[in-house]
Structure 1
């Protein structure tokens, strides 16, 4: 495995995020490979870390002043052993091929854990929708889809939203796909309810994180009632993580965005959360505006020069990192342990560095890795695909019930897989092993393709 990782690094030395994702999986599936020597003979590791297809393209578009801009678009179709490629589109200046490959790799195992028939993929562009008019965002989305449309389809590759791609962007993307292909199909998920979207889809990732956290606490005879919680981010995932935490009796203390974070010792209740949604979803403002209405809260501006993230310095029972990758480093993790955090449940993709994960595991706290804990979003995307295929819409209660059951099954799968290999309580290992074995078995069944 070391030689395979060395080869990956040598081949693509700049793809550090992808290397991190691959190394994390490789280290935890080592006992699986030792027990199944045929996996090595079939070069399973070499095959599973290499995308089936990588698509890169230019996206020329025109702003409201008539100036032409050119961005770079990506779609990494990582693995289709279980079903059509499935994974979000991210519009953010930080998007690179390394970021998209890491996300696609994580998506393969995450989708596998849901038990739904979905392969893994991811895509996006280094376009920043912040500060752009609706007309500019529409023109960019149309230009992006003009190229992407030839590579996707309801039985081939079904993208969804991610950072920078919400209901507005999905609408523009779908409209262009429909015009170019002359077909109305479930080619995108996260659609508006009026034209094929599913109830609970916007809430799904955040709700799923909290359902998974509740399952973990249940193994120790505890619930979320009365637990104080640190939540990072203030987008879709963070908002609905906070909403479900409040519903189950938790107390939310923090939210953040790229400019800084707020800490409200009194707790961010339902009324305050609605104000956050107004700031972020309607006015597209910054989280610091929260303190204008609720001056008892404090706002801390992001200082890129710090070697730690100050949002994690507050005492709490639980932490739900829901902003971006690697927002918790080794120093943050130790601070969280020292301040009494007993549960970390990841809403963002790979928000904890490998050294941070090691600290969580070594201290025997309840650590829910992203590929398991935030699988609720793609799970309900899969349910949206099913509804689109049947041309019907399930009621909210049914979708929520199915989501809760899926998160329960993912939790059980992680627990069982870790126990099978003598790693009881290690959810990171359990998630990687279970997802890996499911994908590998499908690949072997289908031959050398």
Structure 2
């Protein structure tokens, strides 16, 4: 890195410094577009913090925080129901354990690669910091696709995956959880294999477990509920609410289903949801019990909904869901599902608020469109932190060998999400970006980790 001219005006000097560090990130991580996107979004939010805290530059916090402590890639060999040997690739990225053990989900999806896992792990550092819980940042997964696989095939894959992953995790080292493609079934198979390998019952090694063997009530609902709790606080400050609002929610997995459920409990009418094939639109409001049955019990495609509700419409192509006029949009499916065209369409149709329930579901260009048009915007690393927050509560229950009631867990989740909103709002105000929760969340999450890094030495 070339030497910067410290005689430049402070703001210009910091911008040039950030530019240089980001260029290094791009050179060291070529073609990893998702990771580069996540880093860029965080870095340029931090300019005012770096201006006021030169120790972060002196201590090379940016240079250090973008480099994972370790990236683990491993072969996963397993046998399908026909006796064929299959090979997948597994990953675990352990990014930062400055405020607690590495913590982050496992994603099983064909799209999984090093860039996806690194972007998710990098985001997890700041998301976990925002929760106020003692957990660091990590992420993992595999390019294995659970769709169309039998329970026996999924069990054999999970056992093979955990045989390798178990070498790198532990209750005080790294605590994985679920993500896309990894639910209670997969966590159960992996926990069983870990237990066999270690010869010990270490409940705190995985979160998202079944209630009967160390899981927490409220974990399944946590990310969706938490997203709505955060957006609820944001709406209150603007003199608005979910009550009487029309809402569109992308996806139809755990996050989407429970975001819809909580929004409906607060008086909203949810008119659309989706899966990877397409979306449904029900102008009278979606019947959530039917969606739950189709997706959670029968494991069918969302298109089946219109067979029971002929007045509803099904359309191929999930991105078209953002053409539906709504007051509140909750993207809860996957990364970069809202691009600048979809964002412009939402704005032109009068959207008032967007709450990100998925990880990085809006492109940088889409976020700019929302902010430039005064749309209330709840960024993912703040709004979807409810899942990992309740995972940390599960770890606490495991350590104490206790079970908390659903009301206790939900109350703690609600308080955590309100605190995250308050911290993000205050950080934005403190650094001259009042109302910009993207900047506020990035700063609030970063400062806690950066200070811990300095205190713990190089």
TM-score exceeds 0.5 = yes
Distance in 2, matches of 1:221 and 1:282, equals: 39
2:193 aligns with 176
Instruction: Determine whether 1:127 maps to 2:144.
Output: yes
Query: For residues 321-340 of structure 1, what are the structure 2 equivalents within 5 Å?
Result: 321-340=331-350
Distance 1:228 1:302 in 2: 21
Equivalence for 1:294 = 309
Measured against aligned partners, the alpha-carbon deviations of 1:227-275 in whole angstroms (never above 9, x if no partner) come to: 100100000000000000111101101110110000110001xxx2121
Residue 275 of structure 2: which of 257, 268, 282 is its match? 257
Query: Cα offset for 1:371?
Result: 0.2
1:17 aligns with 2:27: no
Mapped partners of 1:183, 1:203: distance in 2: 29
**How many Å separate the matches in 2 of 1:96 and 1:295?**
40
Residue 310 (structure 1) shift = 1.4
Deviations 1:346-384 (A, max 9, x none): 000000000100111111211000000000000000000
Partner residue, 1:245: 263
Pairing of 1:392-411 with structure 2 (within 5 A): 392-411=402-421
Partner residue in 2 for 1:44: 61
**What corresponds to 2:322 in structure 1?**
312
Q: How far apart are residue 221 of structure 1 and its match?
A: 2.0
From 84, 90, 99, the counterpart of 1:82: 99
- Indicate the larger mover: 142-151 or 9-18: 9-18
The residue number in structure 1 matching 2:393 is 383
For the aligned residue pairs, the C-alpha RMSD in angstroms reads 0.7
Distance in 1 of aligned mates of 2:134 and 2:375: 32
2:442 match: 432
**Separation in 2, partners of 1:315, 1:99:** 31
Residue number in structure 2 paired with 1:206? 224
SS at match of 2:425: helix
1:225 to 243, 250, 272: 243
1:109 Cα offset (Å): 0.2
For 1:275, the equivalent position in structure 2 comes to 290
Aligned residue in 1 for 2:377: 367
Within the candidate set 36, 43, 48, 1:26 is matched to: 43
Instruction: Calculate the TM-score normalised by the size of structure 2.
Output: 0.95
- CA deviation digits over 1:202-247, x for unaligned, max 9? 0000000110111001102222111100100000000000000111
Task: Give the Cα–Cα distance (whole angstroms) in 1 for the partners of residues 125 and 85 of structure 2.
Answer: 36
Task: Give the stretch that moved more between structures: 13-22 or 357-366.
Answer: 357-366
1:164-213 alpha-carbon deviations (Å, 9 max, x no partner): 00010000000000000011111000001000000000000000011011
Task: Please state how far the C-alpha of 1:334 moved relative to its aligned partner.
Answer: 1.1
**Separation in 2, partners of 1:221, 1:31:** 29
Tell me the residue number matched to 2:22.
Answer: 5
Q: Gapped runs of 5+ residues in structure 1? A: 304-308
1:236 is aligned, of 238, 254, 267, to 254
SS at structure 1 position matched to 2:205:
coil
Offset of residue 4 of structure 1: 1.3
Return 379-388 or 274-283, whichever deviates more. Answer: 274-283
Give the C-alpha shift of residue 396 in structure 1.
0.7
* Residue matched to 1:62: 79
**Aligned-partner SS, 2:413:** helix
CA distance in 2: counterparts of 1:332 and 1:9, whole angstroms:
27
Quote the offset at 1:345 in angstroms.
0.2
Quote the residue 1:101 is aligned against: 118
| Farther-moved stretch of structure 1 (382-391 vs 327-336) | 327-336
Q: What secondary structure sits across from 1:151 in the alignment?
A: coil
Structure 1 segments (4+ residues) deviating >6 Å: none
- Whole-angstrom distance in 1 between the partners of 2:243 and 2:61: 44
Q: Identify which of 114, 132, 139 aligns with 2:131.
A: 114
Separation in structure 1 between the aligned mates of residue 347 and residue 241 of structure 2, nearest angstrom: 19
Q: Which residue of 1 aligns with 2:159?
A: 142
Q: Kindly state the Cα deviation for residue 36 of structure 1 after the two structures are TM-superposed.
A: 1.1
